[in-house]
Structure 1
């Protein structure tokens, strides 16, 4: 088993409306691994719906400008900045810039789930059910800005 991840070995998937995820959780994600990692690219004006995970998540902004809504608070982030979300906390990311937003995410666990706040539906992270239709409109205007 190779511990290297090559771009031609990864199959990106379209979440809909300009959001694409590149999961780096391929063959190397063995039972003893304690993280799940990957990258998501957002076209301008796109984002994910408010959701939570069963494990903690760290997000690093690789490129662009983001709005992170975490537990009702709004944070503006730019390339090089990072944030961390505790397990069970509702959150979302949105591209507030004119160019692409690329985030690198790491989950503190292997068996990650995503629960969509609006519907209460829970999916295995990166499963077929979790892949499509994830993009939504602009972030809440009621969230506090930091």
Structure 2
């Protein structure tokens, strides 16, 4: 694990494993506490054509950038169509989800949480899990 005294790490998403989240979503964890990050964590999620992430909330704010594809973001009941590089900011506790607007092409988002101990609570079930569970098995950071 890196510490904050180290000069940093280089992460190459193409070389990192994508963890299945179910429902057509796969996540590639990037920066997190395991690298020594203290104030945020981030990663990439790929959502298959026609799939959507379930409605959920977090215990912290989140910023999401659409990297590729066509997306709809639902924030507190309002839906917004996104184009690549459009960015959303969602405060803690606000229900939201991302929907792939294409029936056949995948979409890719880069997400950043404002805490390394971010949690995700599914609106439908009330189940809460740490987001870092998606990072637990990730390896492949190279030190410069």
TM-score band w.r.t. shorter chain: 0.7 to 0.9
The one of 9, 14, 17 equivalent to 1:3 is 9
Report which stretch shifted further, 47-56 or 14-23: 14-23
| Residue matched to 2:112 | 106
1:2-25 residue CA offsets vs partner (Å, 9 max, x unmatched): 511134763210112321100103
| Residue matched to 1:12 | 18
| Residue matched to 1:64 | 69
Distance 2:29 2:131 in 1: 10
Distance 2:10 2:16 in 1: 11
Q: What TM-score do you get using the length of structure 2 for normalisation?
A: 0.80
Distance 1:75 1:107 in 2: 20
For the 8 Å contact 1:29–1:36, the answer to whether it is kept is: no
* Unaligned residue ranges in structure 2 (runs of 5+): 3-7, 135-144
Q: 1:101 to 1:9 in 2, by over 3 A?
A: closer
Deviation at 1:99, TM superposition (A): 1.4
Distance 2:42 2:23 in 1: 22
**1:71-82 equivalence runs, <5 A:** 71-82=76-87
For the 8 Å contact 1:53–1:88, the answer to whether it is kept is: yes
* Unaligned residue ranges in structure 1 (runs of 5+): 129-146
